[in-house]
Structure 1
Amino acid sequence: MPLAAPPLSLYVHMPWCVKKCPYCDFNSHGLRGEPPPYARYTDLLLDDLDADLRDFGQAVAGREIVSVFFGGGTPSLFAPELIARFLDGARERLRFAGDCEITLETNPGTVEHGRFDGYLAAGVNRLSFGIQSFDDDKLKRLGRIHSASEAEAAVKSAQDAGYARINLDLMYALPEQSLEGALRDVRQAVALAPTHISHYQLTLEPNTAFAANPPPLPDDDRAWAMQEACEAYLAASSYGQYEISAYARAGHRCVHNLNYWRFGDYLGTGAGAHGKLSDTASGQVLRRWKTRHPRAWIEAAGGAARIGGEGPVSLDELPFEYMLNALRLIDGVPASDFAERTGLSLEHLATPLAEARRNHWITSDPGQLHTTALGQRFLNDVIALFLP
């Protein structure tokens, strides 16, 4: 079946943070010694984007950018002037949608963000705060360098600067956390009236400090009780759950993340950034990822060595890649989207779908790929059915 061109986003990776957190497995690097070369890195982001556009010109030509996401690391270590420099340069190279969502991740510590009105003037129209908890003891155990009062003050400062679209990241099942403690965090987040809340379970990821020395975490049953109680409170507070870990007020779902979950396309610029493009001419889904370490990526300076790896997604892997994302959505996706986004017929899903339906993990509606409540609870098992 012909491959369709889905919406196109742009991901920008800013790799530095003040201090690496013990649970973090992202491509982030704590500050040591001399300050990072923020201005040079910003210019090289545009060189990296130029090189990708040369390589993927046919697959990108004529398409508009629906969202931009500055992730990290801590992107707000970059001054508003540098964010403006990048966005101005990107707009010269790409066509931005009139309602393009532009998100900047920021942390509450005063040393970690510039002036919020400056980011707003630069074109950033959505902020995502890495709060994680409003409990000072839990923040300390997570290795965070901000306090609960600083978190609250930072969010209010952004609102005073004119930001209407704000996400708060929270974690639950923290070291020795109680059900009441998890609920208290959610209540305090809701009291700040953000438009979006991301609510993640703390997990021990390989190659992290927590994996090497695990803290005492709540067991699976307690973690599930926290998730259910927090979901209910968020729903009662008008935050609709639309993805396993994402809740939004009406009209404020995250465009960028929705594009990921619906198997949309995205360019990735910066150290360790990943990109995915649908090449309708060849009928292939292409992936490219950049060299991870900032120093190595900078030294490559837009050359071939900046690429850590690339290639088409194999036909055997496409069903898993698609379902890994789509089944995270609470309402699922139209079954017809699978063919449009992968170029494959639904027959490629027939066997695992039949098993998932026998287990009551996916609804019987043939027009929708949609997990049941049971399927959401055992989502990893559901997704594993689609492994090649």
Structure 2
Amino acid sequence: MTLSTGGSFQLPPLSLYIHIPWCVKKCPYCDFNSHAAGPTLPEQEYVDALLADLDEDLPQVHGRQLTSIFFGGGTPSLFSAQALGRLLAGVEQRVPFAADIEITLEANPGTFEQAKFAAYRALGINRLSIGVQSFQADKLKALGRIHDGDEAIRAADMARAAGFDNFNLDLMHGLPDQSIDDALGDLRIAIAQQPTHLSWYQLTLEPNTVFWNQPPSLPEDDILWDIQEAGQALLAEHGYAQYEVSAYAQPGKAARHNLNYWSFGDFLGIGAGAHAKLSSPDGTIKRSWKTRLPKDYLDPSKRFSAGERVLGPDELPFEFLMNVLRLTDGSASELFTQRTGLPLSQLAAARTEAEQRGLLHCDPTRLTATREGQLFLNDLLQHFLP
């Protein structure tokens, strides 16, 4: 399906997501495509497969540079610097890197080795995202994590020692039997490590996880609300501005890769189970996904692609707003037409309804959720369903 863009559609910036699907062990809350690693990882075979996967997607680059790369998982830091270096070199041979490209690697404290991380930094990886989740022994045990609080603190120290001046700490709240003091204590320890970015989000029970089938005792809603309000105030007090539902950053340190997602930018996705969102110059926009199981992804007799779906004009308003309304500042109204090729008038009726309900700011130049709209984002998005 090709959209009539009227010359207003613009190809968005392009990012690359690389999925490394192995972990030391599967956590009971995790619904990501991750699998317990065996005694050895098929590093070289997987890098070969990733590059072959990227080769198949090259026609969708359309002459663009990569503005960011994100290694997610799983636990990408299980891979050696040698394997990641060969991969990055292969990617750059195929798609040029922007001069200021942001390259993020997800890592867990239990997989930290300072020499390894200095080698990652030497490859050009310039941002880490460290999965801490909590610093408290009982909470880490409940979450099935393999590190302790001291290891998490050492991980931040080692990140700096390895040359990373830009790193994120991933932290959860609303943990089993967590009090407000527990949650704020975790947050204070995280802030004391002076990360440039904090991802602070509530634990949710997802289908197809151990926690879904065996739910732990989670805090009551009023406690969760108090944790959220007190935590946001504490983060703001220490200079971490909230720019997305669960993302807080020091000035100039918002994650550029995720900002591209939330601004309805394009991203290639390679690796087992990776997803992509890609636009063509004629205005066609599609989502696609790759073969999920690592053994199938590595099987040369099988295809990397597991499916794709073209987004119709009736779907695009919801798809666009589902992303940009997560941002505290939303987006300029004109970005809607630039990213979708549709006239802004297509939003008019639903936009008026949302404004009248106090969920969307009455500003013709911007699409921005009100404070209430941010708190009840699903209710806001209902107005834009096809």
SS in 2 for 1:387: coil
> Is 1:46 aligned to 2:46, yes or no?
no
SS in 1 for 2:109: coil
Aligned partner letter, 1:190: I
**Paired residue for 1:311?**
309
Q: Which runs of 5+ in 1 are unaligned?
A: none
Shift of 1:92: 0.6
**Paired residue for 1:329?**
327
1:248-259 counterparts in 2 under 5 A?
A: 248-259=249-260
**Paired residue for 2:353?**
355
1:130-181 Cα deviation digits (max 9, x unpaired): 0001111101000101000011111101111111010000000101101111
Q: Distance in 2 between matches of 1:309 and 1:224?
A: 39
**Paired residue for 1:135?**
136
Contact 1:327 1:369 in 2 (8 A): yes
Q: Which runs of 5+ in 2 are unaligned?
A: none
1:108-123 counterparts in 2 under 5 A?
A: 108-110=109-111, 115-123=116-124
Shift of 1:347: 2.3
Q: Distance in 1 between matches of 2:217 and 2:128?
A: 32
Query: Comparing 11-20 with 311-320, which one deviates more in the overlay?
Result: 311-320
**Paired residue for 2:216?**
215
Q: Distance in 2 between matches of 1:103 and 1:293?
A: 24
Contact 2:114 2:162 in 1 (8 A): no
Q: Distance in 2 between matches of 1:36 and 1:99?
A: 31
SS in 2 for 1:263: coil
> Is 1:31 aligned to 2:29, yes or no?
no
Q: Distance in 2 between matches of 1:325 and 1:164?
A: 28
**Paired residue for 1:229?**
230
1:1-388 counterparts in 2 under 5 A?
A: 1=5, 2=7, 3-32=9-38, 34-53=39-58, 57=59, 59-110=60-111, 115-281=116-282, 283-300=283-300, 305-388=303-386
1:40-59 Cα deviation digits (max 9, x unpaired): 10121111101111xxx2x4
Under a length normalisation based on structure 1, what TM-score does the superposition of the two structures give?
0.95
1:69-88 Cα deviation digits (max 9, x unpaired): 00000000000111111111
Q: Distance in 2 between matches of 1:129 and 1:236?
A: 23
Q: Distance in 2 between matches of 1:273 and 1:327?
A: 24
SS in 1 for 2:299: helix
Contact 1:18 1:112 in 2 (8 A): no
Percent sequence identity over matched residues? 54
Contact 2:114 2:159 in 1 (8 A): no
Number of residue equivalences: 380
Shift of 1:114: 6.9
Shift of 1:111: 6.8
Query: Comparing 238-247 with 36-45, which one deviates more in the overlay?
Result: 36-45
Contact 1:76 1:113 in 2 (8 A): no
Aligned partner letter, 1:60: V
Q: Distance in 2 between matches of 1:382 and 1:61?
A: 34
Contact 2:112 2:155 in 1 (8 A): no
Shift of 1:129: 0.2
- The CA RMSD over aligned residues, in Å, is 1.4
Contact 1:4 1:278 in 2 (8 A): no
Shift of 1:378: 0.8
Contact 2:78 2:111 in 1 (8 A): no
SS in 2 for 1:24: coil
Query: Comparing 100-109 with 78-87, which one deviates more in the overlay?
Result: 78-87
Contact 1:49 1:269 in 2 (8 A): yes
Q: Distance in 2 between matches of 1:216 and 1:267?
A: 39
Shift of 1:113: 8.5
SS in 2 for 1:61: coil
Q: Distance in 2 between matches of 1:169 and 1:113?
A: 19
Q: Distance in 2 between matches of 1:219 and 1:185?
A: 19
Contact 1:275 1:287 in 2 (8 A): yes
Contact 2:108 2:130 in 1 (8 A): yes
Under a length normalisation based on structure 2, what TM-score does the superposition of the two structures give?
0.96
Contact 1:106 1:113 in 2 (8 A): no
Shift of 1:61: 2.8
SS in 1 for 2:298: helix
